[in-house]
């Protein structure tokens, strides 16, 4: 009689254990599913840099380049979330404003010489306006360095065909057509001849200009490849 009573009790215990095990496994599976869905739909922890609409992947760097407006407001260059050239920083001037960043993008220099400006280490000093000196500094930019360019007022006053060729070798496809008072922005790499996707031009046209003798301001922005490759 005792054995008869124990058997149903054992069966009940076994059923309870099985049910409990299934419940635990089901709860664990649901928790894993919730975690997976949370990772998929939770907002990103990073904030887009340079006012971009999305966060750049680790292999790319955020940038935004805005040309000057007429001869009144200077250009703005944002790189990796930092404004490195602007009217407010007082490191831009009439002509071409150029930021040069080395392959590791942590060394930056800045020269400013009338119609052309370079950006290095945030130091600014005035050089001669002789096109030969401007060309010499352009030739010092090493192959693979990132080059960011923004126009202000007129970029053609000191521009020579040899300078245009250097920009073409950086990936510019519009520099050959840039004329007096055109707005132009560009990002490329020195000496690579790889067509840049970061370039825009607004043509100086009296019928369509919005700033009297100057066209509209132009800008480009996006995620620029961090690593140089042929």
Measured distance CA(123)–CA(112) in Å, rounded = 9
* Residues 5 and 108 placed together within one structural domain of the fold: no
Q: Is the pLDDT reported for residue 107 higher than 60?
A: no
For the segment 45-54, the average pLDDT, to the nearest whole number, is 90
pLDDT tens-place string over residues 125-170: 233 367 887 788 888 888 888 899 999 999 888 889 999 999 999 9
49 belongs to a structural domain:
no
Angstrom distance (rounded) from CA 140 to CA 98: 13
Mean pLDDT of the residues in the chain? 77
Asked if the structure places residue 64 within a domain, the reply is: yes
- Asked if residue 50 has pLDDT above 70, the reply is yes
Per DSSP, helices labelled H in the chain are: 2-41, 131-139, 161-169
- Residue 198, Cβ density class (10 Å: 0-12 exposed, 13-18 middle, ≥19 buried): buried
In a domain, 52, yes or no: no
Segment 20-39 mean pLDDT: 51
Q: What is the pLDDT of residue 175?
A: 97
Q: Are residues 20 and 94 in the same domain?
A: no
The mean per-residue pLDDT over the stretch 65-85 comes to 93
- Nearest-angstrom CA–CA distance, 179 and 35: 57
Predicted pLDDT at 227 = 80
Domain holding 20, by residue range, is 1-42
Q: How many C-alpha atoms does 158 have within 13 Å on its Cβ side?
A: 22
Tell me if 152 is assigned to some domain. yes
Binned at pLDDT 50, 70 and 90, residue 32 comes out as low
- 75 and 160 in one domain? yes
Side-chain-side CA neighbours of 63 within 13 Å: the count stands at: 29
Please report how many Cα atoms fall inside a 13 Å half-sphere around the Cα of residue 102, on the Cβ side.
8
Q: Check whether residue 67 and residue 31 sit in a common domain.
A: no
131 and 77 housed in the same domain: yes
With 80 as the cut, is the pLDDT of residue 197 above it? Answer: yes
What's the average model confidence in pLDDT over 44-65? Answer: 90
Same domain, 11 and 72: no
Please report the pLDDT score of residue 193 as a whole number. 84
Question: Whose structure tokens read 């707005």?
Answer: 183
* Percent with pLDDT over 70 in the chain: 68
- Give the predicted TM-score (pTM) of the model: 0.73
pLDDT of residue 33: 52
More confident residue, 128 or 45: 45
Q: What is the Cα–Cα distance from 51 to 105, expressed in whole angstroms?
A: 19
The answer to whether residues 174 and 151 touch, using CB atoms and an 8 Å cutoff, is no
Q: Are residues 27 and 64 in the same domain?
A: no
- The number of distinct structural domains making up the chain is 2
Say whether both 73 and 173 belong to one domain: yes
Q: Which two tokens stand for residue 29?
A: 């599976």
137, 93: one domain:
yes
Q: Which one is predicted more confidently, 186 or 1? A: 186
Instruction: Say yes or no: 104 and 177 in one domain.
Output: yes
**Mean pLDDT of the region 68-95:** 91
Q: And the tokens for 174?
A: 């519009």
Report yes or no on 54 lying in a domain.
no
What pLDDT was estimated at residue 10? 54
Residue 51 domain flag: no
pLDDT of residue 13: 53
Spatial separation of the C-alpha atoms in residues 121 and 110, rounded to whole Å:
6
- Res 8: pLDDT: 59
Window from 82-91, 128-137, 211-220 with minimum mean pLDDT: 128-137
């Amino acid at each position: 009689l005792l054995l008869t009573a124990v058997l149903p009790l054992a069966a009940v215990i076994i059923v309870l254990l099985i049910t409990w095990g299934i419940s635990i496994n089901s709860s664990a599976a649901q928790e894993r599913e919730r975690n997976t869905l949370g990772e998929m739909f939770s907002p990103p922890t990073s904030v887009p840099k340079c006012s971009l609409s999305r966060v750049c992947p680790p292999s790319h760097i955020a940038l935004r380049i805005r040309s000057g407006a007429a001869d009144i407001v200077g250009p703005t260059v944002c790189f990796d979330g930092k404004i490195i050239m602007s009217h407010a920083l007082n490191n831009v001037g009439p002509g071409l404003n150029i930021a040069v960043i080395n392959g590791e993008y942590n060394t930056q220099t800045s020269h400013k010489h009338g119609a052309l400006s370079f950006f290095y280490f945030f130091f600014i000093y005035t050089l001669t306006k002789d096109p030969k000196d401007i060309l010499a500094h352009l030739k010092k930019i090493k192959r693979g360095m990132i080059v960011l360019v923004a126009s202000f007022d007129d970029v053609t006053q000191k521009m020579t065909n040899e300078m245009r060729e250097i920009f073409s070798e950086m990936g510019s496809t519009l520099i050959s057509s840039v004329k007096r008072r055109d707005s132009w922005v560009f990002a490329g790499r020195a000496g690579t001849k790889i067509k840049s996707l970061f370039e825009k031009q607004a043509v100086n046209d009296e019928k369509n200009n919005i700033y009297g003798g100057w066209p509209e301001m132009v800008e480009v922005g996006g995620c620029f490849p961090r690593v140089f490759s042929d």
